[in-house]
Amino acid sequence: MKNKASILWWWLFSAALALFPVPAHSLQGWFEDGVVFLQQQEYQQAVEAFTQAIRINPKMAEAYSNRGIAWKGLGDIEKAITDFTRAITLAPRLAEAYCNRAGMWYMLGKWDKAVADCEKVLSMMPDHPYAGNQLAWIRATCPDSRFRDGAKALKLAGHVADLYPEPQYMDTLAAAQAEAGNYSEAAGTQEKLITRIQEHFPEDRLAPYRERLELYRAHTPYRTPETELQKAAAQEPPVVKPAKKPAGKPAKKK
């Protein structure tokens, strides 16, 4: 009797596996793999991993946002913007998606849209360094004078640099100081920045910082050349890191 019960149990278990197979990889697993691939700059693998996560849960905004970063790494700006926009639609308070989309607008020279996305983040998170820094850089260096504002740039950049005294934020602060007409302060900030990073950067990477320093010494503000609209893209993009349980529930099987 016990043997027959065991056989029946095994048959039922096997039938259940056939009808409802255990997924080869979980939602969490695909999401974590995608983050690792992003960190390793393996962008095609990252796209594939986040796509698998999205197939399991089509409403996982974080996966769309991170896949957008991977598309950007592959040079497909249109797909990147589409994914960032989808993430924002699903999660209107996901700051990373707004920041990353702002970077895309910046690269395309769509200043109004870049400003709008940065301001949206700051309305939710006033101390957000990426959004504050990006908006300050636009206000200080934008080739289109309609979007420059030295006073606003200085306020934003000063706030970010006070909270996060990192080299990229000091660079923006110097540009803001110059746009506000404080050239001596701008030169001083830039000199401190160069002193801080010169032991870690090769000379070719120091060249743009030195060029801006010479501009400030000559009482000239910096303008982002239209051929060099990659400052936002060069910054480390804000990736949504895996949590113990990713936001959102897995999609129900139909």
The DSSP 8-state label assigned to residue 228 in this structure reads G
Tell me the residue type at 151: A
**Cβ within 8 Å of residue 157, ≥6 positions away:** 132, 133, 136, 137, 140, 169, 172, 173, 175, 176, 177
pTM of the predicted model as reported, rounded to 2 decimal places? 0.79
**Cβ within 8 Å of residue 41, ≥6 positions away:** 73
Does residue 71 contact residue 81 with C-beta atoms inside 8 Å? Answer: no
Task: Compute the distance between CA of residue 205 and CA of residue 168 in angstroms, rounded to an integer.
Answer: 13
Does residue 167 contact residue 196 with C-beta atoms inside 8 Å? Answer: yes
Does residue 63 contact residue 91 with C-beta atoms inside 8 Å? Answer: no
Which domains are assigned to the chain? 25-92 (1.25.40.10), 110-238 (1.25.40.10)
Closest by CA to 212, choosing from 249, 252, 177, is 177
pLDDT tens over the chain, length 254 residues: 545 554 455 555 455 445 544 455 798 899 999 999 999 999 999 999 999 999 999 999 999 999 999 999 999 999 999 999 999 999 999 999 999 999 999 999 999 999 999 999 999 999 999 999 999 999 999 999 999 999 999 999 999 999 999 999 999 999 999 999 999 999 999 999 999 999 888 888 899 999 999 999 999 999 998 755 554 444 555 666 665 444 443 333 33
